[in-house]
Copies of this chain bind each other. A is one copy, B any other.
Amino acid sequence: MGEDKTLNMITINLIGSGNVAQHLISVLQQTEGVVLQSVLVRNLKSISHLLTDEKIITIPEQLQPADVTIISVTDSAISEVSNTIPFENQLVVHTSGSMGLDVLNDKNRKGVFYPLQTFSKLKSIDFKEVPLCLETENESDYQLLETFGKSLSDKVFKINSEQRQSLHVAAVFSCNFVNHLYQIGNEICDENKVPFEILFPLIQETADKIKTLSPKEAQTGPAIRHDQKTIDKHLAFLNDETRKTIYQLLTQSIQNNNG
């Protein structure tokens, strides 16, 4: 006598059609033990390439209760969207790194399902490798959200709102700001007719190294060596005031933090 497998399925509603929502639609349809019940969007066409029309709804009143309802919209719209949900006392989560639980309407049980990755529409992602940062208001909901998270990814973390805020700030330094330094490197190469790709192996190795050494241990270069001759040469080479200021500030910070 086999069990009825559908009894153990986790049902999911999704609200939104952005980058994160689209990656979730794809992965939810491929995940065992999970049923994507409905996707609520403003414009049916925005996601009709991703799933069959009968699952797409455009009016909040059509949403049926599900085990987890995921709101994946821009930060400033989460509150308003959560107000339009027609049912009560279900688990409703948002996917934002910087918003608390309080942004969600009180009529449902609250949680956060924050995938910490940079999603581009054109680039596929191995979702098993995406860290999921989970939080629920009620301890009793955590197990449900964790079971759901583990069916999608091998990297599930229990992270409260304050920790999530710190992660978001850390990600700005380690991702957005890092990318901006790549941009400055790229521009310096272009201005001197040197192919930027010469730096790719170095960029790759720098990102790899911190998996086995702490960044503090891994630091190299003129700043940490207190090689003032080279630092002066580099400052004389830089003719852009912003770049000079960034160079000086980061050199000083490296020296102060490791002295």
> Chain A interface residue count: which class?
35 or more
Residues of B near A189 (CB, < 8 A) are 166-167, 170
**Is A181 at the interface (CB under 8 A from chain B)?**
yes
The residues of B that contact A89 with a CB separation of less than 8 Å are none
- Between A179, A195, A211, A218, the greatest number of chain B beta carbons within 10 A of the residue's beta carbon is seen for A179
CB-CB contacts below 8 Å: A216-233 with B: 216, 218-224, 227, 229-230, 233
Q: Is the CB of A234 within 8 A of B168?
A: yes
Partner of A221, one of B172, B181, B213, B233: B172
Q: A223's closest neighbor in chain B, by CB?
A: B176
- A199 touching B183, Cβ below 8 Å: no
Q: Is the CB of A219 within 8 A of B181?
A: no
From B116, B179, B213, B238, contact of A169 by CB (8 A): B238
Query: Roughly how many angstroms separate A157 CA and B196 CA in the complex, as a whole number?
Result: 12
11 intermolecular pairs with C-beta atoms under 8 Å apart: A117-B201, A118-B220, A157-B194, A157-B195, A174-B185, A174-B203, A175-B199, A178-B181, A179-B206, A182-B215, A206-B207
- Interface of A toward B, CB cutoff 8 Å: 75-76, 98, 116-118, 120, 123, 125, 129-131, 133, 155, 157, 159, 162-163, 165-186, 188-189, 191-196, 198-207, 209-216, 218-224, 227, 229-230, 233-234, 237-238, 242-243, 245-247, 249-250, 252-254, 256-257
**Interface contact B167-A118, CB-CB below 8 Å:** no
Instruction: Give the chain B neighbours of A192 by CB distance below 8 A.
Output: 162-163, 166-167
B218 touches A177 (CB 8 A): no
Task: List residues of chain B with CB within 8 A of the CB of A177.
Answer: 181, 246-247, 250, 254
Top 5 closest pairs, chain A to chain B, by CB: A176-B221, A174-B185, A166-B192, A183-B215, A182-B215
